[in-house]
Amino acid sequence: MINQRYYAAMGDKSVIRELAAYAAKRGEEIGEENVFNYSLGNPSVPVPQIYTDTMIRLLKEEDPIRLHSYAPTLGVESVREKVAASLRRRFGIPYEKIHIYPVSGAASALSHAMRAVGTPGQEIVIQAPFFSEYRQYVQGADLIMKVVPANFETFQIRFDEMEKAITENTAAVLLNSPCNPSGTVFTDETLTALSELLKKKSEEFGHIIFLISDEPYREIAFDGKKVPYPSHYYDHTLSCYSFSKSQSVPGERIGYIAVNPKCEMADQMTALFGQISRGIGHNGPSSLPVYTMGETIDETSDLKVYEENMNILYDAFRRLGFTVQRPGGTFYLLPKALEDDSVAFCKKALKYDLVFVPGDGFGAPGYFRVAYCVPTEKVRRSVAAIERFCAEEYGVKPNA
């Protein structure tokens, strides 16, 4: 009568969305400006003006029938070519339009990639900590999520554990750099070692183990550094990109998958994505955002505010003696809570109108995620609340 699998899963609600809803409700009571809502990764800086201008221009100048018409099954060719050209320029990898598949955001990209390379019952190996929604994408594709325990010292890969996790039944490793929730950028050394491991294991098991690279935070890097590009290290890489964070348009659901031209079945992979799309009724992202993507491919919002926010919060947590890694990018911090039970910790924080997300869902129990995509003046104001929270609940005072 009703699909029991989905029905049962309805209880498995998104903790992040629930906390965000709580924060919104609390905001109605005491004023939004008084709730330090660090729950949701919704960008706090506006879309680049050229994005808005481009949309308006397309709406005014383009033939409306063409602008709003069905895209071909694999997406608008001219836009796919523009994405390929941008990636060629930026990364020096000879992508062609045949390697580019427009999708409705990173969630869609990952879901297509997993379905393409995994057969139901196979495994996707993921290094903790990881974005909590990965569970949904993996289970939705009838695959099995295998978690490599976190390295809480550096949040880099634990290769001893990763090697044990990869078996004959492994379809792909999923990597997210910079990482939600830790903010970690996987280093040149890590990616080199990962590539070697994947080559070795692919040979050992007689089939390619793919690298699914989730890259929505690629452009949000700190300290003037560049994020190493996974496809530079391993040929069988599917780069899953979304403009949600870099252009502050998460609601527009727009991104792409870029298949490394040396990847197994590189020239057929996008056709495979197209077939997957038909079966889930997805049929590509909306056309206005697609054409806009083509025109604004190399533009980003003013992203430096996230680094400013990070520095304020990182310093505040350090002064309070928290164990916390300095992030290399994203707009997340993942400090260790002041008690083992991070759910209890986050619950106590709510009393001070501080909305943090417990690390449990991210494979990091005992830690908590701080999504600092909020206005900087609010970040500054939140420091006093954090200090009061730590003093009153845990007797912890900042060091001078």
By CB under 8 A, the residues from 141 to 170 that bind its own copies are: 141
**DSSP code at position 213:** E
Q: Among all chains, which residue has been given the structure tokens 């690629």?
A: 218
Residues 40-59 that bind its own copies (CB under 8 A): 40, 42-47, 52, 55-56, 59
Report DSSP state, residue 324.
-
Given 95, 137, 331, 372, the residue binding its own copies (CB under 8 A): 137
124 versus 337: smaller Cβ distance to its own copies: 124
148 vs 290, beta carbon nearer its own copies: 290
Tell the smallest beta-carbon distance from residue 376 to its own copies (Å). 14
Asked if 233 and 93 touch (Cβ cutoff 8 Å), the reply is no
Identified binder of its own copies from the candidate list 85, 88, 139, 152, rule CB under 8 A: 139
CB 247 within 8 A of CB 219: no
Residue 78 in the binding site for its own copies (CB under 8 A): no
Choice between 154 and 283, CB closer to its own copies? 283
Give whichever of 208 and 258 is closer to its own copies, judged by the CB atom.
208
Tell me the C-alpha distance between 321 and 396, whole Å. 8
Binds its own copies by CB under 8 A, chosen from 129, 230, 289, 328: 289
Q: Burial, 256: exposed, middle or buried (Cβ in 10 Å; 0-12, 13-18, 19+)?
A: buried
**What tokens appear for 386 in the block?**
């954090």
Residue nearer to its own copies on the CB measure, 93 or 208: 208
In Å, how far from its chain's centre is CA 295?
23
In whole angstroms, how close is the CB of 271 to its own copies at the nearest point?
6
Task: Quote the least distance from Cβ 393 to its own copies, whole Å.
Answer: 31
Closer residue to its own copies (CB): 63 or 153: 63
CB-nearer residue toward its own copies: 48 or 335 = 48
Please pick, from the candidates 15, 50, 144, 272, the single residue that binds its own copies as defined by CB under 8 A. Answer: 272
> In whole angstroms, what is the distance from residue 316 CA to residue 273 CA?
45
Query: What value does the CA radius of gyration of the chain take, rounded to a whole number of Å?
Result: 21
Could you count the other beta carbons within 10 Å of the beta carbon of residue 396?
Answer: 14
Q: Are strands 368-371 and 357-358 parallel, antiparallel or unpaired?
A: antiparallel
For residue 357, what is the enclosing H or E element? strand 357-358
Out of 28, 31, 70, 224, name the contact with its own copies by CB under 8 A.
Answer: 70
* Window of 79-87, 133-141, 146-154, 385-393 that interacts with its own copies by CB under 8 A: 133-141
Which CB sits closer to its own copies, 73 or 187? 73
Cα separations (Å) of 179 from 7, 215, 342?
31, 9, 20
> Can residue 250 be called a binding residue for its own copies (CB under 8 A)?
yes
- One residue of 32, 33, 69, 189 binding its own copies per CB under 8 A: 69
Among 98, 254, 293, 379, binds its own copies (CB under 8 A): 254
CA distance 159 to 203: 17
In the stretch 91-130, what mask flags binding to its own copies with x, by CB under 8 A? -------------xx-xxxxxx--xxxxx-----------
- Please identify, among the stretches 188-196, 284-292, 305-313, 335-343, the one whose residues bind its own copies according to the rule CB under 8 A: 284-292
In the bound state with its own copies, the residue whose beta carbon lies nearer, of 170 and 382, is 170
Q: Collect all residues with Cβ–Cβ distance below 8 Å to 93 and sequence separation of at least 6.
A: 87, 231, 232, 260, 261
306-345 footprint of its own copies as x/- string (CB under 8 A): ----------------------------------------
